Chains A and B, each alone.
Chain A
Amino acid sequence: MTTAFETTAARYQKKVYSFARSLLSSSEEAEDVTQEVLLRLWRHQRRLDEERLGSWVLRVTRNACYDLLRKRRAAPALTKAESLDGEDAREIPTAEPDPESRVQASDFRRRLTDALAGLGEPYKSVVLLREVQGLSHREIGEILDIPEVTVRVHLHRGRKKLREQLREVYTP
């Protein structure tokens, strides 16, 4: 029988895992972080406001990832095997573009994910939370514990950095 906790855990585990995997560039470590976050969710479930659970879960995820990154002493760039355009990217339904367009598109995506991986904090987290996880500025501010206006500034700088790195490879 599925309990209410399991339903809640199932609702957040994909968000937690994908965010952790993007920050850590490691599926194994992302699994460990997800497990740890879900266990903390278990321990603290009585004290948490269910409406803002999503922010809490991602804040704990971010902190757990930062702990791991600090242990590594340096956050390396996404490896090709672990980058966001890895095996999962092939599952996106497309309108069957011609081979040349397909090569260009995949190259653009690869360069984009490489640029995102090397973006550095806090820009990387802000861009991931906004563009990939689809969160509002307010939610991102809660997760990263920064004012909403700072979120907008970080987002602007992060996006600008991505544009600077992709300008050469982009063909309209």
Chain B
Amino acid sequence: MTRFEELRCEEVLDVLEPWLDGDLPPDEEARVRVHLDSCPSCTAELALARAIQSELRSLPLPDCPPEVLERVRRARGGEVIPFGQPERRTSRPFRAALAAAMLAAAVGASVFFLPPFRNEEPDSEEVARAAEEARYALAYIGQVSRRAGLTLRDHLEAEPVRP
């Protein structure tokens, strides 16, 4: 007949939850059982571990309010693409041509609409307005950078789940 080497209480307390989960190898499980049969203190601790596990597993998952999905729909402008279907994207040459056209239009517009060049110092009102526009531009650039950072992180997060 095989005799188990007896476990000490601290050794048993270290494996109570794995024992409950059935994660222990058969021989160790048997040794824990032998100890529990003769140790009221560890048996009480096992009951506590079992109660905690049972209580945690019975905690309800709160429902997500339906408005959230509705907000997602609205955030996407009502456009919904079926899962797995590629998004429509403009081609790179087309986007480059579009950017060039917009730049040309902006330069052309500046010739017609900007005030004629003045060789004099700007007044304080003009300086204040320019400073305000600069602050706005910096804030906008900051916002765009933050979004770009989040997008980059999303891409990095997505990488590990590829097969």
Residues of A within 8 A of B (CB): 3-10, 13-18, 21, 27, 31, 34-35, 38-40, 42-50, 52-53, 55-56, 59-60, 63, 84-86, 88-89, 91-92, 108-109, 112-113, 116, 127, 131-134, 142, 145, 152, 155-156, 159-160, 162-163, 166-167, 170, 172
Q: Decide if B48 is an interface residue (CB 8 Å cutoff).
A: yes
| Bound: A111/B158 CA distance, A | 38
The residue that B48 contacts in the complex, of A7, A63, A166, with Cβ under 8 A, is: A166
Q: How far is the CB of A48 from chain B (nearest CB, A)?
A: 6
User: From DSSP, what is the main secondary structure of chain A's interface residues?
Assistant: helix
| Contact partners of B158 in chain A: CB under 8 A | 44, 47-48, 56
State whether A156 touches B161 (Cβ < 8 A): no
The residue that B80 contacts in the complex, of A6, A52, A133, with Cβ under 8 A, is: A6
Query: 7 A-B Cβ contacts within 8 A?
Result: A7-B83, A39-B72, A49-B162, A53-B161, A60-B154, A155-B17, A163-B49
Given contacts A38-B69, A55-B161, contact A18 B61 (CB under 8 A): yes
| Contact partners of B49 in chain A: CB under 8 A | 159, 163
State whether A56 touches B161 (Cβ < 8 A): yes
User: From DSSP, what is the main secondary structure of chain B's interface residues?
Assistant: helix
State whether B161 touches A4 (Cβ < 8 A): no
Q: Mark B22-46, 1 if CB is under 8 A from A, else 0.
A: 0000000000000000000000110
Q: Decide if B64 is an interface residue (CB 8 Å cutoff).
A: yes
Q: Tell me how many residues of B have a C-beta within 8 Å of chain A.
A: 48
| Contact partners of B116 in chain A: CB under 8 A | none
State whether A84 touches B161 (Cβ < 8 A): no
Q: How far is the CB of B50 from chain A (nearest CB, A)?
A: 10
| Bound: A27/B68 CA distance, A | 12
| Bound: A134/B60 CA distance, A | 12
Q: Decide if B47 is an interface residue (CB 8 Å cutoff).
A: yes
State whether B161 touches A52 (Cβ < 8 A): yes
CB closest residue in chain B, given A44: B158
Given contacts A4-B83, A35-B72, A42-B76, contact A92 B58 (CB under 8 A): yes
Q: How far is the CB of B5 from chain A (nearest CB, A)?
A: 22
Given contacts A35-B72, A52-B161, contact A16 B64 (CB under 8 A): yes
Given contacts A14-B64, A60-B157, A132-B61, contact A159 B52 (CB under 8 A): yes
The residue that A38 contacts in the complex, of B55, B68, B155, with Cβ under 8 A, is: B68
| Contact partners of A6 in chain B: CB under 8 A | 69, 80
Given contacts A14-B61, A44-B154, A159-B49, contact A4 B68 (CB under 8 A): no
State whether A5 touches B82 (Cβ < 8 A): yes
State whether B84 touches A46 (Cβ < 8 A): yes
| Contact partners of B13 in chain A: CB under 8 A | 160
State whether A40 touches B14 (Cβ < 8 A): no
| Contact partners of B63 in chain A: CB under 8 A | 14, 17, 88
State whether B75 touches A35 (Cβ < 8 A): yes
State whether A39 touches B65 (Cβ < 8 A): no
Q: How far is the CB of B154 from chain A (nearest CB, A)?
A: 5
State whether B161 touches A88 (Cβ < 8 A): no
